[in-house]
Structure 1
């Protein structure tokens, strides 16, 4: 069982590396294809927006497919798209391949999370999701610096690395994940899209959007926030990012365990408040390397615990509809990422380079308030499997 979850995580590692490593190779893409760095940055935007729009559409369109077929199709499209990115002769075609890669990613990640929850008993769903989400956190800690280093002279080598990761995940899933639990009988299109009008689902997805908007508003401009501590020293910045990546993995693992023990609501409210407090203190914590290292540990530790609780909350609403619900969570996540670049830029313009993390604090507190308003504790039954149960109420 553990091996199956780790193979699913290999796929999310590939997807996470693909989505985040682009930031490290933008100058090389700019020079090679004769576009500005800001134009090259649209590679990130089109990927995130395509993912956000397509995730629920693809979940609905592939509802009757076997889960193994869905996973393999997603990884095949994702791998082929990255190979085409590596071969793209001009920027226009490169953008098109990023949209195609988003198709594969948008189909894979929600399905992988849904498969993970089906492979384990209800009381272990949080840890199963944490394992699969761990692929994204390991991508932050390992995949991004590795991909950036490999592509330091030729950005196309980075895309070949992602292609190889996708191919490895395809082979592993194809060999080891046969005999997956069959999906639930597929309802009609109207019934499948019903969650889109459910206020409980909308509250959960809006919380996801706000959480990732808050987190990415700082992370995208982490170099700016950390400048007083690093003084422009790349080795210092690398150390901070490494610590951040390591504690992202720890936060994901911890989040899965506490979700199973206390439920998603407690984790979202507690860890979200901690994350908001760290963001509030960032203008002072980033004044020295010692305190910057503390902030680089605490923020991802709390943030990734919340990130695990968010999909667990959605799955608990209607487990048979997990693929669609998780696709909505992924859409909200990537919409938050796509919007964070503009939000962070505006925050820097208004508040300045030191105080712009206050925007992240405000957004995270909004997310916590929304989660508090749309969730309440259930009367806990005596069974162990009910420890992560909770009831959602309309706000």
Structure 2
């Protein structure tokens, strides 16, 4: 199981690197394509927006595809999208190529999560989900910095080739190692979209949107909000971002193990509450480097510790529609990331850049309330008739 999960993780590492690395090479892209920095930033927005919008659509329309074929197609399209970004000569074409890469990511990531859950025995599903999601969190700590260094030492096109190579390597590993995973039987679109009517699914997805909006509202302006601790030094900021990524990986993997042992609602609640306390103290902790390191590490741990149990909860609620609900959760995450630039700018105007975490805290608190409502609905045992028999005892902890 672990050797197979490794290549799924490599695929999510490629997706995560593609998501985060563009920000590190944006000035070089701006100069090369002769556009402003703000215009070049649309490359990030188009990728995230395409990913967010297409994840549930792809999940719903390809539910009957063989999982292995969908995984391979997603990674190969991701590779093609990055190769096109590297070679196309004009900004408009490059922008379109980011949408192609976003389509590949939308095809791969939700499928990788549900495939990991299918490959694992019931008592190890949380761990399997965490291993695959570690690719995304690991990309923030390693993939994006490595890609940024490649861009600075060679050129920005080399960074995109780096992502394309990662994608191809993941596809080769899946082609060789991955067994055939059964697909869902063909059903009409109305039945396929049935989970959208479930309030438990709705409040779980709302939790993801609110919590990650709060977390990324501050992340989008981390250079400015932590400038007192870094004294404007880019190297120190890079160290802080590495610490954040390391915390994210620790939180993700730790939550995966815990999800297999204790109720997921406890993990979600503790992670959100601790993140909220961390954000409440951040206007003080972001003044000095020592306290900033602690604050940003806790931020990384707690932010990503909620992701796996939220996915596990969705699989528990609607096991027959797992790919769709995981796709919706991916969409919720990336919609939050896409919106964070706007919410961050609004927060700066209202409370100032060094107090921005307090603005993000409001979203985090609302996310905690939403998660509590979802937990109460799950406890009441609300189930749609066609899903009740599919729920397994091993998955009732979330």
**Which residue is equivalent to 2:34?**
34
1:317-332 map, 5 Å? 317-332=317-332
* 1:96-111 superposed matches below 5 A: 96-111=96-111
Q: Structure 1 residue 228 and structure 2 residue 235: aligned?
A: no
Moved over 4 A (4+): 385-388
Structure 1 counterpart of 2:396: 389
Q: Cα distance, 1:390 vs. partner?
A: 4.4
Gaps of 5+ in 2: 381-391
Matches within 5 A, 1:59-208: 59-152=59-152, 153-177=154-178, 179-208=179-208
Whole-angstrom CA distance in 1 between matches of 2:263 and 2:187: 29
Tell me the residue number matched to 1:260.
Answer: 260
**Cα distance between partner residues in 1 of 2:286 and 2:60:** 45
CA distance in 2, matches of 1:124, 1:225: 39
Q: How many residues align?
A: 386
Question: Which residue in 1 is equivalent to 2:239?
Answer: 239
Name the residue aligned to 1:2: 2
**Does the C-alpha gap of structure 1 residues 62 and 387 become closer, same or farther in structure 2, counting only changes over 3 Å?**
closer
Counterpart Cα distance in 2 of 1:135 and 1:291: 28
* Secondary structure in 1 matching 2:25: helix
2:52/2:334 contact within 8 Å kept = yes
**Structure 1 segments unaligned to the other structure (5+ residues):** 380-384
CA distance in 2, matches of 1:306, 1:388: 17
Aligned partner of 1:346 in structure 2 is: 346
Q: Distance between the aligned counterparts of 1:310 and 1:347, measured in 2?
A: 27
Per the TM alignment, residue 226 of structure 1 is displaced from its structure 2 partner at its CA by: 1.1
TM-score, with length taken from structure 2: 0.94
After superposition, where does 1:39-50 map in structure 2 within 5 Å? 39-50=39-50
- Aligned-residue offset at 1:58: 0.8
| CA distance in structure 1 between the partners assigned to 2:333 and 2:86 by the alignment | 26
* Contact map agreement 2:204 2:314 (CA 8 A) in 1: yes
TM-score (norm 1): 0.95
SS in 2 for 1:375: helix
Q: CA RMSD in A?
A: 1.6
C-alpha distance after superposition, 1:234-274 (max 9, x if no partner): 22112211211111111111110111112221111110011
Change (3 A) 1:159 1:127: same
After TM superposition, give the deviation of residue 62 of structure 1 in Å.
1.1
